[in-house]
Structure 1
Amino acid sequence: MKLILTFSFTLLLICTGLATDKRPNVITLLVDDLGYRDIGCYGGPVETPVLDKLASEGVRFTDFHSGAPTCSPSRATFLTGRQHRRTGVYSVITERLHQMHLLESETTIAEVLKENGYATAHFGKWHLGMPVHNRDNPTPADHGFDYWFGLVNGPGPSHKNPTQFLRNGERVGPLEGYSCQLVVDEALKWLDQERNGDEPFFLNLWFNEPHAPIAAPDEIVFKYGAPNDQSAIYSGTIDNTDRSIGRLVAKLEKLGELDDTIIIYSSDNGSYRQERSGELRGQKGALFEGGHRVPGIVYWKDGIPGGRVEEEPAGAVDLLPTLCGLIGIEKPAGLHLDGSDLAPLLTESGNFERHQPLFWMNESSMVMRIGDHTLFASSTAKSPIDFKAADRLTEQIKEVLGDDLERVLDGRDVKDLRSRLFNHGRLANPEANRLKDQLRDLFYFQESWIPELKKSELGRVQLYDLSKDPSQQNNIANQRPQLVARLKEQAAAIHRSVMADAPKWPAAGEPNVTKKPATNLSRQPAATGSKTPANPKKAMVAKLKAMVDAGKLTEKESIGLYLAAFPEEADKLKQVRSGEDLAKLIESGKFDSAPFEAVELALKQNNLKIRGAALSAAFGRLGGGVGGVQLEAVVERLESLPQSRDKDLALNGLAHGLVSKDPEAALKWANSISEEGFRKTVVENVTRRIKAQP
């Protein structure tokens, strides 16, 4: 926990004995990939009566913005009131590739409110880094949440019957229902069973809807089109989420606490469906308005005059200082907050003045908003992306898809294929899916690029006047040279400030996130608030490693000491280091107490034949049920492997292990896979192995 109260304020609370009225509850509702023109009260096609009512009785912003045009950066800004790069989050976090996460040293809304007597809980998507893929990253508990029910990223396999939820770090397992409703179920359960009625609460609900892969009840989808119409399903997910929020609002009303609860609703970025951005240019991922202008609704019946439409530009970056202002608590001391306190504007109690312009950044550009003008400035940093390779892969995918191309495009122009692929689930065509994964990997942020970004400056500029050109079609930079010069100078100062704060990875003061030993739970976040029995071998490895890092031992000496303590490990160490007979070693059961360790060792083998055989053996043991590992965790690890011969061999091994253990259960599981292409592959593999049994 960070110290976020000034000494004088802490002393004041002690002296007054905390003799104040109960503070308002706070609920933040963040949806995923919702467009500016999606919901009813913003002129969208989706029926959202609950949100429409909150907007009509609260404040509806017409010029509200997410913290970034993409997911993880936006969420970092949402929680901290700071530009996401300052917090350690440069781009969308891909856990298997990235060390970056929301720095534990950052101060979040949850921590500020917790210090001021609030009970705190998080429900839903997280996507700010978790202790998976052998990384020692913080969880929501480390960022101020007493209780959390969440996801590393997506619910998997879709919004329907998700399998990836965690409760305080422990896997929940497969659930029945839709993600948005399950998130609210948990929040309602928390209100009934976990809360202390004497404390105000902060509930942070981050829904997955309408992010792809999408699913919604048929009876809702039918309102918007055919059950297989992607646009109709997309609308159905938004409608379903509105219904889930309605259940939460009804609960507050029943408890008599709705009027004294601050409710804030928004989206993490714009939609991936261009038609849902209205007249705005761009979509999810773009620095044009369509990438980050989103709905913004603030409701607090007891504290904010309602029934208003607010045109003042505002955004998620303002939430932390605004909540401090509304509740009447001090902002964190000694922090550069990029957001401003909207409380005077919301309560109509004074003049609002923004201390710093709104701005957004991505890997290649920065955009700053002052009044009606938006200044675009490109970065001088050279991009590491191989665009020629991306073009080649895109053309290959078009050829492989053939007649399926139109279905994948879902009504979009073929020039939008690349962006469509980034927001599409697994393709039914295995070769097209393999190429799609390669294409996406080209565009993932590379942490090795950070030093180049930190020394970069702002280069070429564009200027748009939103009052006359809301679609940002007319660059007027050449017509307003003096204004451009002034705005660029201001943007450059902000850019320098952000990049000076932005950490490199691994970040100074953070745990070394690459050296956590792998165990049979290596892909499962550590449980919060519970202790597991100490592993003496793991503990000794950590101790010896620390001594090697400190220069007190050589690596050779440390291995000698380890083998002196655990002589039974000598054969395993010898064979693993040489790479010989690793598959036989795994099949012998040597790794059954830590089967995921066998997977990690297999992946480290440079010899393709040895690696493939070892992976097949490791997943075969996992499929046979060794180590007590749940099948869901095994499948998740399998799916995280890149599409390759290795993955095929791992799948073969898993199918063999499952069939050997229980053929009927193996076939039942294979047929339960929701994604058609993957299901077909697994069913064929399992069926073939069942037929081959004696």
Structure 2
Amino acid sequence: MNYLRFHFAVLVMCVLTSFAQADDRLNFLVIMCDDLGYGDLECYGHPEIRTPNLNKLASEGVRFTSYYSAAPVCSPSRAGLITGQTPTQVGIYDWIPGGSPMHIRAEEVTLPKLLKTAGYETGLFGKWHCNGKFNSPEQPQPNDLGFDYWFATQNNANPSHENPTNFVRNGKRVGPTQGFSCQVVADETIDWLTNVRNSDKPFFALVTFHEPHEPIASPEDLVQSYPDAHKKGEALYYANVTNVDRAVGKLMQKLDELKLSDNTLVLFTSDNGPETLNRYKTAWRSHGSPGPLRGMKLHIYDGGIRVPGIARLPGKIEAGSESDFPVCSLDLLPTFCELAGAKVPQSAKLDGTSLARMLEGETVKRDKPLFWHYYRAFGDAKVAVRDGDWKLVALWNQGEVSPGAAYKKGDYSLIKNVKFTDFELYNLREDIAEANDLKEQHPEVVLRLKKALLAKYDEATANAIDWYAEAN
């Protein structure tokens, strides 16, 4: 009997191993927008913006109504997706200006590294924003963090989305390009899929559009297609989102032509909530919508971190389905690695949960609550956890610290020595707008989540990096 059990176990392991080495393993295509709000898509209820290709993608897969980014601002959000860890834990505290010492360190475990060791081809296309010294030997570049091929910019498309001049391809400056950024990025991705990658290997492609982040530029035909948008810059913004939709449609068409659609898990999302009109003078085109959510970009409330999330995998994800299960970009690393047969080292301090079993119709339970920290968030609310329907928000004693102003000398002490003075509790199923603080009615929930929040904060900041001390 013991021998039969052993024989069966060996057989199962052999089957799993052969699957992990097979050429028909899943491909992964992640498309991430920049500053696209939860309410910015037609299939998420926007009354005017037209997104027919994303509507189609949602009709072919699942539309998540509780999909979260790792942070309410760009660089930490991207660092979370790539490492599967709370961004603070890997030293990415805020958006990264050019020349900043902040970067994802070469020794970090990353999703492309792990997939690459499992035999995947990996490519990055679009906005990078995970280091300050871009395309410089002074800091790790996309290839040092696992991307075989990269076509990227440090931050935004310059001088705007139209004809950007600041792309770098595999360490070499590209120079002027023709067209709008999302189309340029989509075309580069298509060329890589068609002509560059090894088609005998599965692939992971991370496509990071600059749109609809400022400075916004949009095709004139699309701008003119919104004659009822009368506010200054409104038609430009709506057209910008529709142009992204066009680029997504182009990518999906190419997957069909290459007969890759049935074996490619596609995920469309955003890095954080929408930009506000009043944060800086050049944001006059930022007409993004958080939908029914509280806050926008730079807020720790859901408007800053809950974003669109659409996933498609024919035959595995039910077409036209909807899920309110809380999902986060931190989940991508463990999920993709499990599906790919890529081994995650035990030393990796992952904060995400593998959702692979959801593809088999099984229920997934998180071992720990979702966690967010952004010390330059608008207002005193800087940290939050979500566990099921409950969300606990922590307020600190430092006051508002120049929201979105980027990490500066002296900020390290703010991160390490902060004290939390108050908490707010919301039931997101009943109160998606986070309008009714229930801490007085549910002290037992506050106590439980407060314990989890403070423990995770201590863990995330235990080895916090003082970038300016390291740079000296």
Instruction: Tell me the TM-score range normalised by the shorter chain.
Output: 0.7 to 0.9
Conservation of the 8 A alpha-carbon contact between 2:118 and 2:340: no
Match of 1:146 in 2: 148
1:475 and 2:437 correspond: yes
Q: Which of 302, 307, 322 is residue 335 of structure 2 equivalent to?
A: 322
Match of 1:307 in 2: 320
Q: How does 1:52-451 map to 2 (within 5 A)?
A: 52-96=55-99, 98-132=100-134, 136-225=138-227, 229-273=232-276, 276-348=289-361, 350-363=362-375, 365-380=382-397, 382=398, 385=401, 443-451=405-413
The number of aligned residues is: 444
Conservation of the 8 A alpha-carbon contact between 2:19 and 2:25: no
Q: Tell me the secondary structure at the aligned position of residue 276 of structure 1.
A: coil
Distance 2:245 2:209 in 1: 11
Kindly state the Cα deviation for residue 473 of structure 1 after the two structures are TM-superposed.
1.8
Whichever residue aligns with residue 82 of structure 2, its letter is L
Distance 1:262 1:202 in 2: 10
* Cα distance change on mapping 1:286 and 1:452 into 2, 3 Å: closer
Kindly state the Cα deviation for residue 79 of structure 1 after the two structures are TM-superposed.
1.0
Distance 2:433 2:82 in 1: 30
Distance 1:461 1:384 in 2: 16
Whichever residue aligns with residue 313 of structure 1, its letter is P
Q: Which of 454, 467, 472 is residue 492 of structure 1 equivalent to?
A: 454
Conservation of the 8 A alpha-carbon contact between 1:29 and 1:207: yes
Match of 2:465 in 1: 503
Conservation of the 8 A alpha-carbon contact between 2:96 and 2:132: no
Kindly state the Cα deviation for residue 220 of structure 1 after the two structures are TM-superposed.
0.7
Kindly state the Cα deviation for residue 483 of structure 1 after the two structures are TM-superposed.
2.2
Q: Tell me the secondary structure at the aligned position of residue 259 of structure 1.
A: helix
Distance 1:34 1:155 in 2: 16
Distance 2:212 2:400 in 1: 31
Structure number with greater Rg is 1
**Long gaps (5+) in structure 2:** 1-12, 277-286, 377-381
Q: Tell me the secondary structure at the aligned position of residue 252 of structure 2.
A: helix
The C-alpha deviation readout for 1:405-457, integer Å capped at 9, x for no partner, is xxxxxxxxxxxxxx8xx8xxxxxxxxxxxxxxxxxxxx332243213422334
Whichever residue aligns with residue 260 of structure 2, its letter is E
Match of 1:430 in 2: none
Distance 1:229 1:452 in 2: 38
Conservation of the 8 A alpha-carbon contact between 1:82 and 1:337: yes
* Cα distance change on mapping 1:445 and 1:199 into 2, 3 Å: same
Kindly state the Cα deviation for residue 134 of structure 1 after the two structures are TM-superposed.
7.4
Distance 2:144 2:83 in 1: 14
Conservation of the 8 A alpha-carbon contact between 2:102 and 2:132: no
Distance 1:36 1:19 in 2: 38
Q: Which has the higher contact order (CA 8 A, sep 6+)?
A: 2
Kindly state the Cα deviation for residue 476 of structure 1 after the two structures are TM-superposed.
2.3
**Long gaps (5+) in structure 1:** 1-10, 388-418, 423-442, 515-694
Kindly state the Cα deviation for residue 475 of structure 1 after the two structures are TM-superposed.
1.9
Conservation of the 8 A alpha-carbon contact between 2:101 and 2:133: no
Conservation of the 8 A alpha-carbon contact between 2:80 and 2:87: yes
1:25 and 2:20 correspond: no
Kindly state the Cα deviation for residue 42 of structure 1 after the two structures are TM-superposed.
0.8
Distance 2:387 2:18 in 1: 42
Conservation of the 8 A alpha-carbon contact between 2:28 and 2:204: yes
Distance 2:323 2:344 in 1: 24
Match of 1:465 in 2: 427
Conservation of the 8 A alpha-carbon contact between 1:457 and 1:492: no
Q: Tell me the secondary structure at the aligned position of residue 71 of structure 2.
A: coil
The C-alpha deviation readout for 1:107-145, integer Å capped at 9, x for no partner, is 111111101111111100000115359771111011101
The C-alpha deviation readout for 1:527-581, integer Å capped at 9, x for no partner, is xxxxxxxxxxxxxxxxxxxxxxxxxxxxxxxxxxxxxxxxxxxxxxxxxxxxxxx
Distance 1:150 1:133 in 2: 10
Kindly state the Cα deviation for residue 181 of structure 1 after the two structures are TM-superposed.
0.3
Runs of 4+ in 1 over 6 A off after TM superposition: 15-18
Q: TM-score, normalised by structure 2?
A: 0.88
Kindly state the Cα deviation for residue 292 of structure 1 after the two structures are TM-superposed.
0.8
Kindly state the Cα deviation for residue 356 of structure 1 after the two structures are TM-superposed.
1.1
Conservation of the 8 A alpha-carbon contact between 1:59 and 1:346: no
Give me the identity figure in percent.
40
Distance 1:504 1:130 in 2: 15
Q: How does 1:645-664 map to 2 (within 5 A)?
A: none
Structure number with higher helix proportion: 1
Distance 2:130 2:435 in 1: 34
Q: Tell me the secondary structure at the aligned position of residue 237 of structure 1.
A: helix
Kindly state the Cα deviation for residue 351 of structure 1 after the two structures are TM-superposed.
2.2
Kindly state the Cα deviation for residue 478 of structure 1 after the two structures are TM-superposed.
2.6
Whichever residue aligns with residue 222 of structure 1, its letter is Q
* Cα distance change on mapping 1:209 and 1:56 into 2, 3 Å: same
Whichever residue aligns with residue 142 of structure 1, its letter is D
* Cα distance change on mapping 1:110 and 1:12 into 2, 3 Å: farther
Q: Tell me the secondary structure at the aligned position of residue 478 of structure 1.
A: coil
Distance 2:52 2:110 in 1: 31
* Cα distance change on mapping 1:306 and 1:16 into 2, 3 Å: closer
Kindly state the Cα deviation for residue 371 of structure 1 after the two structures are TM-superposed.
2.0
Kindly state the Cα deviation for residue 278 of structure 1 after the two structures are TM-superposed.
1.4
Distance 1:469 1:77 in 2: 27
* Cα distance change on mapping 1:65 and 1:339 into 2, 3 Å: same
The C-alpha deviation readout for 1:242-289, integer Å capped at 9, x for no partner, is 111111111111111111111111000011147611121100110111
Whichever residue aligns with residue 359 of structure 1, its letter is F
Distance 2:292 2:455 in 1: 32
